[in-house]
């Protein structure tokens, strides 16, 4: 009865060795698809390596922190917040809401993605797939575009 157990243990050890070998081989292989995220040089070494040098790593992160990128991130953040607020109103069937109430929730009326004018001449101020029609004190919230989403 001991013989099959011995074989099983031996096979398990063999499998572990084989796995370790493949992991080691993979980590040192040069994958032509993996490139430095900054300079596009082909990477070798660890499988999770993203940059060829420390210089490229810091240059990449400095580029991310560039003021223009910061501005774009802030704009996108506000646009997404606006869209989220309009979507929440729409979802809760709050079709007509006050400007002040929406402003207090963090909505910015300066941030929209586009404007659509319908055949009756009404202007839809859009944040992606949601929009509002400005009626002065109140606004009317609606969803625009193709397929209506279920939340």
Place of tokens 């949601």: 130
The answer to whether residue 52 forms part of the interface with Zn ion (CB under 5 A) is yes
Detail the DSSP E strand segments found in the chain: 30-35, 42-44, 96-98, 114-117, 123-127, 130-135, 138-143
Angle at 135 between CA 112 and CA 148, to 5 degrees: 55
Nearer to Zn ion, 43 or 102 (CB): 43
The answer to whether residue 23 forms part of the interface with Zn ion (CB under 5 A) is no
Could you say which residues in the range 53-82 bind Zn ion, by CB under 5 A?
56
Cα separation, 22 vs 52, in Å, equals: 23
Please tell me the count of residues contacting Zn ion according to CB under 5 A: 6
Could you say which residues in the range 94-133 bind Zn ion, by CB under 5 A?
none
Nearer to Zn ion, 36 or 140 (CB): 36
Question: 103 near 82, Cβ under 8 Å?
Answer: no
Nearer to Zn ion, 42 or 80 (CB): 42
Q: Which residues bind Zn ion (CB under 5 A)?
A: 36, 38-39, 41, 52, 56
């Amino acid at each position: 009865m001991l013989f099959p157990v011995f074989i099983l243990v031996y096979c398990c050890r063999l499998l572990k060795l084989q796995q370790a070998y493949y992991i080691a081989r993979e980590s040192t292989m040069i994958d032509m698809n993996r490139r430095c995220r900054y300079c596009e040089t082909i990477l070798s070494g660890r499988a999770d390596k993203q940059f060829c040098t420390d210089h490229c790593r810091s240059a990449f992160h400095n580029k991310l922190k560039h003021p223009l990128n910061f501005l774009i991130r802030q704009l996108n953040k506000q646009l997404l917040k606006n869209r989220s607020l309009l979507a929440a109103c729409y979802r809760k069937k709050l079709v007509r809401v006050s400007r002040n109430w929406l402003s207090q929730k963090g909505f910015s009326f300066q941030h929209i993605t586009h404007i659509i004018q319908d055949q009756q001449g009404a202007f839809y101020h859009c944040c992606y797939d949601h929009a509002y029609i400005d009626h002065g004190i109140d606004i009317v919230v609606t969803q625009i575009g193709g397929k209506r989403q279920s939340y």
